[in-house]
Amino acid sequence: ITILAIESSCDETAAAVCTDGKILSNIIATQKVHEQYGGVVPELASRAHMENIVPVVDAALKKANITTAAIDAVAFTQAPGLIGALLVGSQFAKSMALALNKPLISVHHMQAHVLANLLLDNPPAFPFLCLTVSGGHTQIVLCESPTQMKVIGETIDDAAGEAFDKTAKILGLPYPGGPLVDKYAKEGKAIYKFPEPKIDGLNFSFSGLKTSILYFLQNAGKSNVYKEEYIATEAERKAFIEDNLYNICASVQERIISILMNKVKLAVKQTGINRVCIAGGVSANSGLRTTLQQTGEQLGWQTFIPAFEFCTDNAGMIAITAYHKFLANDFAPLSITPSASSSMNA
Ligand code: ATP
Ligand code: MG
Ligand code: FE
């Protein structure tokens, strides 16, 4: 079974080809146009997808060394994401399925992030837990089979990726800041202690952390809470950030990781499942990858970490998800439309 998959939910235009669950090509065009705005501009994303989609699909077919005649189904990201961006990919996939007279498969982006773990040489057995940490989501998912999964915990405010990106923005680093915070954290020590939110059960909260970082910098490192008497001048703040950038990044990253890992430990305890995966853009974070692996060794878990190219947005994860939907005879009608938000609990 050969599947062509298309991903266009945000600011990556991506296409992949897989045959019988094996990825033959995984092409990603990251849109540069958003950098200057410090975040993704939806209308510009749609336009860039329109420019990129034909060359990206072409490149995926070429790299896989196939022609359109070899395609058995066309898959696309149906939700969630930016609606204009999703429309470009879905319209393209529908047209292609119609022209080739092949079935169409619709894929949920967050399910696909989870199933990126099935692309590992030694994939997890079912059931497993997955910590999905991305730009828009932070979830603990209980995955029973490729087509059955349930969110058992999630963020009540910001996503982990947002916490990274907003921290970077406050520090004056360019967008998206997550990878830079990761890079600088390696050079620093986690000497600043940011508070851990008190939130019951398996849910997460990151907005308090963001606020305390904001106050901490406003006070040029004197306090985590708002104190009028400590408000620093612009010059003092800049100097403080410059002198302490690496340690600040290390401290923030350590706190984000401890918030995530404490909930994962609780989820393992509550479910009795000790196969633990990570997924989503933040699973590219080197601190999180090492911490998960070390925690697994200490506590006797089996841990799974996708290759970098399958962590951030990509079409390989859409292809592997579509492959399992193909096997389950789960096809979409040509009348299907994308949606900006949608729960993945079936
Ligand atoms: P969603 O999947 O929730 O719709 P998205 O698709 O925009 O959101 P992804 O592409 O999966 O998200 O991930 C992007 C996020 O990952 C950004 O917030 C980015 O900063 C973060 N990220 C990428 N690499 C790293 C890293 N090394 N360390 C920390 N964060 C990172
Ligand atoms: Mg992106
Ligand atoms: Fe994503």
**10-32 average pLDDT score:** 96
DSSP state of 315: S
- Are 202 and 265 in contact by the 8 Å Cβ rule? The answer is no
Does the structure show a pLDDT above 60 at 346? Answer: no
Q: Is the peptide bond before 306 cis (omega within 30 degrees of 0)?
A: no
Nearest to 118 by CA among 74, 73, 149, 76: 149
Q: What's the pLDDT at 52?
A: 97
DSSP state of 36: G
Residues whose Cβ atom is located within 5 A of ion ligand 2: 10-11
Q: What's the pLDDT at 203?
A: 98
Question: Distance between CA 252 and CA 261 in Å, rounded?
Answer: 14
Q: How remote is the CA of residue 300 from the centroid of ligand 2, in Å?
A: 33
Q: What's the pLDDT at 23?
A: 98
- Which amino acid residue places its CA nearest to atom 11 of ligand 1? 281
Task: Give the model confidence (pLDDT) of 293-324 as tens digits.
Answer: 999 999 999 999 999 999 999 999 999 999 99
Question: Distance between CA 272 and CA 269 in Å, rounded?
Answer: 5
Task: Give the model confidence (pLDDT) of 246-298 as tens digits.
Answer: 999 999 999 999 999 999 999 999 999 999 999 999 999 999 999 999 999 99
- Which amino acid residue places its CA nearest to atom 28 of ligand 1? 285
Task: Give the model confidence (pLDDT) of 33-89 as tens digits.
Answer: 998 888 899 999 999 999 999 999 999 999 999 999 999 999 999 999 999 999 999
Which residues lie below 8 Å from residue 206, measured CB to CB, with a gap of 6+?
A: 138, 155, 157, 158, 159, 160, 162, 163, 197, 256, 259
Does 136 appear as a known binding residue?
yes
Nearest to 112 by CA among 80, 90, 87: 80
73-79/22-30 β-pairing: unpaired
- Which amino acid residue places its CA nearest to atom 30 of ligand 1? 178
Atom number of ligand 1 nearest to Cα 287: 28
Identity of the residue numbered 278: I
Ligand 1 and 176: CB distance under 6 A: yes
Does the structure show a pLDDT above 90 at 149? Answer: yes
Q: What's the pLDDT at 261?
A: 98
Ligand 1 and 124: CB distance under 6 A: no
